[in-house]
Structure 1
């Protein structure tokens, strides 16, 4: 079972850069996408339902902003759009698909880098999302939360960690929140598979960050222990640059 997480930074832009051509050759069973930056009428038929895939979406109310989606070969048994929290759901940040005893979630956690106001929105999201994550693990299902978490957890997770200790995405409070999450039983799948591989998935558009691989690992598969133990291999696709993020692929044992 192959599951991909990809922040597209605009589904239409990524489509023009060949994302859906890559999708057809990826072998993915489920693809969680973030930052659609589009509403359903803005998306072509090929974006809504690529050949061989079902498409499900939770767009933001604001045009050209945020939004998440899930593409899957097998039709899910159930789809849950949003968290049931009005201000969070208005930004299109959470979409869940259930397949038997497995749930796959596409998550786009807010960024706080644009302003202090948005950092406070991010902190508010974290405070309200932790109880949801605790409730999820208490369901007794296997769950994989794929997405752009907008937090680098440890110094290995970003190239210039010393220079970012006071910046959004590597603040002590954000990192402590992830540590608390992992303390509740959730597993960082990439870091479990590759304890010493940085695994960067995002690069600033400033300077030569991409060319010099001055990146951040802010895209994760965060999973319940049972399915995390089935993870066999991971990869980050950089041959074609679809956005400022690179798709993160994890292969799990068994079929969907």
Structure 2
């Protein structure tokens, strides 16, 4: 099963830049999206042809929004606010009830379109799409404490959610996979210019420590790093500005984090870095992995 994640930075802009062509060529069975940034009524439905779409747009106009695209309609949906939209090929989106995820720290983020879970109907896997808040470099950046504390609160609640969801999935005979934009580069390997970014949001010591705390042989495994332990990157985000793209001065902030058995089943993982700056679909490139889900059934 080929599974990917992509922060599209606006689905309508991404569609114009080649979103559909990339995913048609890649042939993914499951795709997690972040920053869909589009009202349901304005969705370009042609972007999702051949997929069943489960979507949480959130209530912030023009911001956030997560989705999971699957070849088969999911067996179960869970969302922070208990609602989601679904549609399949040739259909229009309609609101559907979703199981509400109860988490005190995440309750204030429930309407922001930041997290969504589905149970696949064609594989024993629970898949989640995440868009974690960017945060801020407090105290190094004046006036940024509120944004910094907001991200810390989300991370605190999200760590508990990951443990609960993974354990619940395991109790039901499912593996767990959370993908998306974590807005954190975990180690020096994950950031080209790490020396000059040690006081930048996304590479603060406390953010990196938190990221390490959610990983473990019995919890979640960084699939890309498991398959490419010595590689710098491969990076997934580059600024639109300056020469970041040309010089490959990127950040690895988009991940596949999988439960142990699913991580072991991964046979390949790569970043779909576009051929040129002009070919870029978003400021993030897709992250794709192949999993031997048949082995999970056996």
The bucket for the TM-score relative to the shorter chain is over 0.9
Q: 1:105-144 alignment to 2 at 5 Å?
A: 105-113=128-136, 115-139=144-168, 140=170, 141-144=174-177
Query: Residue in 2 aligned with 1:148?
Result: 181
1:252 aligns with 2:296: no
TM-score, structure 1 as length reference: 0.95
1:178 aligns with 2:211: yes
Task: Select which of 224, 233, 246 maps to 1:190.
Answer: 224
Higher relative contact order (CA 8 A, sep 6+): 1
Deviates more, 1:231-240 or 1:114-123: 114-123
Partners of 1:98 and 1:192 in 2: how far apart? 24
- What SS class does the counterpart of residue 229 from structure 1 fall into? helix
- What SS class does the counterpart of residue 62 from structure 1 fall into? coil
Q: Are the structure 2 counterparts of residues 116 and 204 from structure 1 closer, same or farther at C-alpha, using a change threshold of 3 Å?
A: farther
Q: What is the CA distance between 1:106 and its match in structure 2?
A: 0.6
Deviations 1:154-196 (A, max 9, x none): 0000001111111110111111101111146210000000001
Query: Greater Rg, structure 1 or structure 2?
Result: 2
Q: How many residues align?
A: 254
Partners of 1:73 and 1:117 in 2: how far apart? 40
Partners of 1:254 and 1:98 in 2: how far apart? 14
Q: What is the CA distance between 1:76 and its match in structure 2?
A: 0.9
* Kept in 2: contact 1:103–1:144 (CA 8 A): yes
* Kept in 1: contact 2:236–2:273 (CA 8 A): no
Deviates more, 1:199-208 or 1:108-117: 108-117
TM-score, structure 2 as length reference: 0.82
CA RMSD of aligned residues (A): 1.6
Deviations 1:49-91 (A, max 9, x none): x222111111120110011011111211111122444321211
Which ranges of structure 1 fall in alignment gaps of 5 or more residues?
none
Deviations 1:77-123 (A, max 9, x none): 11112244432121101111102531011111110148432222111
Partners of 1:59 and 1:137 in 2: how far apart? 24
- What SS class does the counterpart of residue 202 from structure 1 fall into? coil
Which ranges of structure 2 fall in alignment gaps of 5 or more residues?
81-100, 138-143
1:164 aligns with 2:164: no
